[in-house]
Amino acid sequence: MPQHLMLVLSNAKDGREAEFHAWYDVHMRETIDKLDGFAAAQRFELADLEGAPDVPYRYLALYAIEDDRVARAYEQFLHGRRERAEATAAGREPLIAVSDSLDPSAFLVGFFSALGPEVPSRRLGGGGA
């Protein structure tokens, strides 16, 4: 498991889920290919479970960050935001675009570092002490 993650919680605008997914697949690839420090990414959708607590976000993206590059990944994330604003103001395409199918009122980004090693389940044959 990676030692650092960028977590992104988001929603699509109403009725624009297909457009959101098509964009996000490209956006995720561009992020890990164009921004230094990001190693891999994966997207998730909130599981449809009866009686589960309400969660304000439907989608989760996890970006694995190279072992010792969390500061660099954060710096690159901020650079991407600045560059996108500059590109928009100049009327040119940004390095990494953001679709207007993304609901800006339901969007959260955080960077997290592991507090210890991954603990595998002994029940599933993960061993451990």
pLDDT, one tens digit per residue, over 6-46 is 999 999 999 999 999 999 999 999 999 999 999 999 999 99
Q: How far is residue 81's CA from residue 121's CA, in Å, rounded to a whole number?
A: 39
**Ordered domains of the chain (ranges, CATH):** 4-47+58-113 (3.30.70.100)
Strands 4-12 and 59-65: antiparallel
Handedness of CA 107, 85, 19, 4 (dihedral sign): negative
Torsion on CA atoms 121, 123, 125, 129, rounded to nearest 10: 60
Rounded Cα distance between 24 and 34, Å, is: 15
pLDDT tens digit sequence for 76-88: 999 999 999 999 9
